[in-house]
Structure 1
């Protein structure tokens, strides 16, 4: 589990662990990114046997995961959790069962919001045509067409144990074999796209990402949808990741499609998109590795 000033949401996750991990032998390791609130106090009072790893600063999601992984002994699998996840009873046992399916390295649960609405957490690999599709049609509408959208929106896809190119990283079970084969998470992605990079890297090595539809968890969601600062980071990291995995011509087209999306949304009055478009037009912003200090 990764925490950073998570005292408000942490109790709900900790309360769900016993039933969510029922039938599974487990140990909790928490990587804390220098929380200044009561996060560590809440953790110690609720799960005193947990191992706590202090990164010493706000190192980001991938760096915190790496810090926790470095403390682990060999095991069957590693469950990675955001503090705003709530596990349904039997969730992890169901995920473990799916991890036994051939070629599977990562298993994710079926996520819902607080109100019980389905969260579209499965994703297709970023592609130029999909970037243009989302720019012209919008994420949700483009998602109806596999070639035009990255988000998997078909309800049936969340009822069956199929595979996806990647999935939201708020709750994911990774086999020990996959952990060893992939190595550390890419810390150059301070937040966002780190789970995309990891899942695509795992797929390249023969480990697929699979949904366990019978395993359910609630995700309270982050604030990337409303925060211009985080939306800008999400947008820049998508372009940075695509550029790493493809040649310059394709990367230029992906950047153009992403810019088109943000400019069009900005013209409609979305402040977060105006800020993201300005960042996309700044070569230094695309080159600079994001940190907590330069996100402002």
Structure 2
């Protein structure tokens, strides 16, 4: 018996596996190959939302997973929009598994997560993630705060993350050894109960990319549905390039401000913005290109007001 299976009863489990693709042709084969072992012992359906890929992402899915439902968005609508569209096309489900195309499930991963999802008060279950080299990825997060942005600016994310009051990212690796509740977790591999989906969905499409998983998990927490991490379930995440792409880092930073302002009063929102300007400004002085672009965007009222989209990313990428 795998860890977590003792929490399962005889209730049939059907998982809607949701993947959003965008020029993901090279990633899709290994993802699809991992689904069978990863969902062993579980009834599941695959729904792929494609954000107008220029490569053969759609053709590859249809060739390798002929029973999958493919939703062609017709445009790059963003991650949240793809998730919402895919779930709308799913059949009946007891849980939704959201996966990035660059995730590879390990055998039995989802059945273990389903057991964890049955823990009272849990709405979201997330596994331990490793990168392609087998190194632990720090996936658990604490709620954003002014103090945590300042802690990141003054100490760096890794050192600050070891101190709960001063770090948003949980970086103390001892905390990844046991099952525990997090305020939210990175959104590449997320199992959501049907109850949580029905009460909290849809994902907020106004973010386009980044902060949408933060928003969803924090709203679930507001409703008493926790995000629960377990090291008994594992997956591999090859990870994207938000930390090295100036355009994506800028979008990530701006969306942090947008989310915080929605959840707090104007005074706290201004303080959070100021802390981010300080953090990115200090890094820009050290010559970090992504932070230079992020500072310019943070100091632009029009950038903070606009709704982000693919044109925003392309514009920043050309600078």
- TM value normalised by structure 2: 0.92
Whether 1:254 aligns to 2:259 is no
Matched, 1:137 2:171: no
Does residue 18 (structure 1) correspond to residue 36 (structure 2)? The answer is: yes
Number of residue-to-residue matches in the alignment: 296
RMSD value, Cα: 0.7
Q: 1:265 is matched with which residue?
A: 283
- Which secondary structure state, in structure 2, belongs to the residue aligned with residue 279 of structure 1? helix
Q: Deviations over 1:95-137 (max 9, x none)?
A: 0010000000000110000010000000000011111111111
Residue 232 of structure 2 is aligned with which of 207, 214, 218?
Answer: 214
| 2:61 corresponds to | 43
Whole-Å Cα distance in 1 between the matches of residues 190 and 78 of structure 2? 17
* Deviation of the 1:294 alpha carbon: 2.1
For 2:131 and 2:278, locate their aligned partners in 1 and report how far apart those are by CA, in whole Å.
30
Deviating 4+ runs (over 6 angstroms): none
| 1:267-286 equivalent positions in 2, closer than 5 A | 267-286=285-304
Contact 1:123 / 1:164 at 8 angstroms: preserved in 2?
yes
**Contact map agreement 1:232 1:273 (CA 8 A) in 2:** yes
The within-5 A match list for 1:105-124 is 105-124=123-142
Post-superposition offset of 1:152: 0.3
Equivalent residue number for residue 78 of structure 1: 96
Q: Provide the rounded CA distance (Å) in 2 between the counterparts of 1:82 and 1:183.
A: 18
1:95 maps to what in 2?
113
**What is the rounded CA distance, in whole Å, between the counterparts of 2:303 and 2:268 in structure 1?**
20
Give the counterpart of 1:151 among 145, 169, 185.
169
Alpha carbons 1:236, 1:280 under 8 Å: kept: yes
Q: 1:240 aligns with which of 255, 258, 278?
A: 258
Compute the TM-score of the two structures, normalised by the length of structure 1: 0.99
Q: How far apart are residue 74 of structure 1 and its match?
A: 2.8
Correspondence for 2:80: 62
- Secondary structure in 1 matching 2:44: coil
What is residue 291 of structure 1 aligned with on the other side? 309
Moved more, 72-81 or 225-234: 72-81
CA distance in 1, matches of 2:168, 2:183: 10
- Stretches of structure 1 that go unaligned for 5 or more consecutive residues are none
Counterpart of 1:191?
209
Mapped to 2, the partners of 1:113 and 1:178 lie a distance apart of 28
SS in 1 for 2:277: helix
Deviation at 1:73, TM superposition (A): 2.7
2:192 alignment partner, SS class: strand
